[in-house]
Amino acid sequence: MRRLLLTIVLTALAPIFAFAGDAEIRAAQSSIRNQIEAFLAGDNAKAYSYAAPNIKKLFPTLERFMAMVTRSYQPVYRPRNYAFGKSIEPDASTVMQRVLTTGANGKSYEAVYTLERQADGTYRITGVSLKEADALAI
């Protein structure tokens, strides 16, 4: 009986827990979208503002950051298009977001962004893993 009651309670609360994560995921997606849109608009300083402190420590100037981005991340720097895929929250302050993109070269890519919630509540990008994909499904 207890097990049944626990199952009923957890089932009833599941939408509440899912909804609580939705706000964090939307905030993380907003940071990614804003960075990509800043790249596309040529506002590199604004794009850099979405990098987390660990990234800014590795690339302490805008010039170094942009050299890294333009050298290694063209599909998110200058995408033809992009769409959000699946996301997960491995812990209370981290979001991992899959972004499906078509690079300027016409090839499909999968970028997995990792973002962490900062002290001010915003999500900043702590890393991006990029790989070419044969065919992507959203």
Question: What pLDDT digit, counting tens, does each position of 90-103 carry?
Answer: 999 999 999 999 99
> In which domain, by residue range, is 16 found?
2-133
Average pLDDT in the 107-130 region?
Answer: 97
Domain assignment of residue 63, yes or no: yes
Pick from 71, 61, 55, 135: nearest CA to 102:
135
- When divided into structural domains, the chain yields a total of 1
Domain assignment of residue 138, yes or no: no
pTM of the model: 0.82
In a 13 Å sphere around the CA of 119, the CA atoms on its Cβ side amount to 1
pLDDT in tens, 55-100: 999 999 999 999 999 999 999 999 999 999 999 999 999 999 999 9
Please say whether the beta carbons of 38 and 30 come within 8 A: no
Give burial (CB, 10 Å; 0-12/13-18/19+) of 87: buried
Residue 70, domain CATH:
3.10.450.50
Q: Which of 15-24, 35-44, 60-69 has the lowest mean pLDDT?
A: 15-24
Q: How far apart are the first and last CA of the chain?
A: 41
Domain assignment of residue 34, yes or no: yes
